[in-house]
Amino acid sequence: QDGPAGVRFAKGTGISWQGSINNAMTFDKDLMYEVGKAQGEENKEKGINVALAPCANMMRNPKGGRAWEAYGDDPYYVGVWAYQVTKGIQDAGVIAGLKHFVANDQETYRKSSSSNMDMQTLMDIYAEPFYRPIHEAELASIMAAYNAVNDTYCYENKFILKEVLRDILGFKGFVMTDWWALTNDDPISIKS
């Protein structure tokens, strides 16, 4: 279930969490861990196995519709906060579903846009925030983004999901698509 702002579509009421960008502005690592742990505990209490959180996207556009869901515009800083929240969620016994891999930094037309860039930009800016949660928090799940990277949708992009995510970043968990992402009747098969 979603996610950074609280559990949706679950029985009963859920806690409504303040925007992740606001939490990040505290510069308090312990607080970020505690937020993740409390979110994990709430998900577990409601019988949810995978929390679709946190969000490690780079908020490079101030008009980005979901800027509140991530932690800012510095790749290192975003990675540190994503690690803390991921660790907290998973320490509560719930799988963290880090999102949205990768280069999802706008809401308008995100299902039809392509973020085009060279390899250095991809790795240094957009993939960097995912590194620490993968290696230090032993991240179990990643959500592939709606958008395309270099004209191929992320959720069926062999280069992004196999070569970057698996081979370079060393991710060993499972990948899921964003809610209604699949548009191709025959998406490529990504083998772990």
Are 137 and 179 in contact by the 8 Å Cβ rule? The answer is no
Residue in 73, 74, 151, 178 annotated catalytic: 178
Taking the C-alpha atoms of residue 181 and residue 177, their distance in angstroms, rounded to an integer, is 6
Are 88 and 40 in contact by the 8 Å Cβ rule? The answer is yes
Token pair 């992320």 is found at: 154
Are 3 and 53 in contact by the 8 Å Cβ rule? The answer is yes
Q: Give catalytic status of residue 178 as yes or no.
A: yes
The structure tokens listed for 150 are 């270099």
* Residues annotated as part of the active site: 178
